[in-house]
A and B are shown apart, each in its own frame.
Chain A
Amino acid sequence: MKATLILTSRGVREANACYSALYELEQAGWDTELWLFGAFEQPLYPASEALRVEAQGLDLDNDAERLLAAAEMLWRRQKPDLLLMPEDLLWIEVCPRLSARTAMAVFTGCSALLWRDDRLEVEKSVYGGNVNARFALPLPCAMTLRTGELTPYVPSVHYDGPITSVPFDAGDSDGLELVEYIAAEGDGLEEASRLLIAGQGVGGGAAVAKLQELAARTNTALGCTRPLVQNGLMPPGKLVGATGVTVSPETAIVFGASGSGPFMSGMRKAGTIAAINNDPAAPIFRQADVGAVADCNAVAEALLDLLDK
């Protein structure tokens, strides 16, 4: 059996989370392989083989069409039993499309995997992130990994073998023309060591502005839960949770969030979580380390007052 991990030019933490899946399978006797897309400079897992797609001038970090074409080319050449990829906006699109083209099974959102009794068992959050479900996977299968939920594995030795270069001619995407690409300014949520979170309970724009001021004055990143994005109070890039960013700050202060499953699934790797909510029965208090029952706007104001002094 062979498991292949696709790596792109994202961070070392994400790579290490993916390595934990490879390690689990390698311990069970699987061969492992790496496919590198773009200029991946992180230490590599000591797999049996590594290949790099050479696609000069292509934006492999943002262009799902080209990534899909490149992944399909490599799949037809290498035919792994299990193709793993980190879950983000790009690969969550590529993974099922690749499955449709190759007739292999598809599974997304994997948070744990285990090879047992010649069967691959996997786990993921379901029902809005409130419970987990276990599945047995048919093979071959393409699967995305929720890197924020996997325990990172840091290899003690790294791959030092040859990296096979695979040329890739993307060609044109018939009927689809890129007109403009506007790079987003990094909001720093994923890397932030200190984080404030605005939940629905903070109220409207004035309260959000207060938290923005607090974040600026404490040099802390500000994220939010989904209702604030839906109401246009915060941009989509600030969303923390299963459909947004998975964060891992040392300290997070959560203002006025109920503690829904989708939001908390993006917070599981946080260090200390402090929650402020005026409802003592709010589920957030079952999932935080420090809690206070209070009006979160009054607390935000008190914090600003303290900073003034």
Chain B
Amino acid sequence: MHYWPWWLGGIALASVALGHWVALERQMAVSGRFTALVNRWRFGSAEPSESAARKVSQAALVEAMRAATAAEFGKLELDEAAGTPQPPVTISAAPLRKRQTSAVHAIFLTSLVAGGLLSALLAGNVHYSLSLESERFGALFGNEGWPGPAALALGGVLVGFGTRMAAGCTSGHGLCGVSRFQKGSLVATACFFAAGVAVSFALGALG
């Protein structure tokens, strides 16, 4: 594979991430899509048809606010306030934008696979193998047996755990967050890059 020069890579990454915003009015966040799918699997279909739940919660919310007001200021003032004409209670709990469904999240993840396939097809080197086609990874963990798969599974668990804990990965924090100068993203990106450097040098010393 002949890789793109750095400037073309940078323009491509920025175009895709900005395109994500322009087309979908959302910040690109890949680990968030994993999170959405895991939540769907854990908690069942909490899909965007929430209007019924919203009606229930509106009545409950009004009652809760009434009780909290009584607790804070006493019943007297609440009754006084009730004597004056009140505007009708309208609570806007509607999100400004519909959430994407699990099917759409799955389509995004599937299209990443398709993107990799397209790249390999156009480069004319599509062959499937139970490996990473990596010299260094093979040298470290061997090309057969369980050390390789175990290393990938452990690494994957760390990636899944860490990205959910930090609430973002390379796309959400690294690209979209850093370019908006968000404090959390700057810290998270510095941390995951530093850990990547440390572990890579450690692996290099082993190999």
**A and B are interacting partners:** no
**Chain B residues within CB distance 8 Å of chain A:** none
